[in-house]
């Protein structure tokens, strides 16, 4: 899944970028203060996206 698509999905559920690192962006769900790390690669593995959704306590993304 493309990184920009993952960010768009996260934003639908109230998540946003907390800070940028060299290799990862830290994503926070402000409604429950859960965080996860999003790699700064153009393509993100679908299994990793599902794991990040679980970390943020949001519904898992449907893989295409």
Contact assessment for residue 3 and residue 44, using Cβ atoms and an 8 Å cutoff: yes
Question: pTM to 2 decimals?
Answer: 0.90
Condensed to tens digits (0 to 9), the pLDDT of residues 4-30 reads 999 999 999 999 999 999 999 999 999
- Whether residue 63 has pLDDT greater than 70: no
**Is 36 within a domain?**
yes
Name, in order, each residue with C-beta under 8 angstroms of 24's C-beta and a sequence gap of 6 or more.
37, 38, 39, 40
Residue 62 confidence (pLDDT): 80
In whole angstroms, what is the distance from residue 28 CA to residue 62 CA? 20
| Domain with 19 in it | 3-56
Instruction: Please count the structural domains in the chain.
Output: 1
Residue 2 confidence (pLDDT): 96
In whole angstroms, what is the distance from residue 30 CA to residue 40 CA? 21
Condensed to tens digits (0 to 9), the pLDDT of residues 40-56 reads 999 999 999 999 999 99
**Is 62 within a domain?**
no
CATH code of the domain covering residue 25: 3.30.920
Count CB atoms within 10 A of the CB of residue 57.
14
């Amino acid at each position: 899944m493309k990184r920009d698509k993952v960010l768009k999905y996260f934003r639908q559920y109230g998540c946003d970028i907390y800070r940028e690192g060299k290799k990862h962006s830290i994503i926070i769900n402000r409604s429950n203060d859960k965080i996860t790390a999003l790699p700064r690669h153009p393509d993100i593995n679908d299994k990793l996206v599902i794991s990040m959704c679980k970390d943020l306590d949001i519904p898992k993304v449907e893989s295409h």
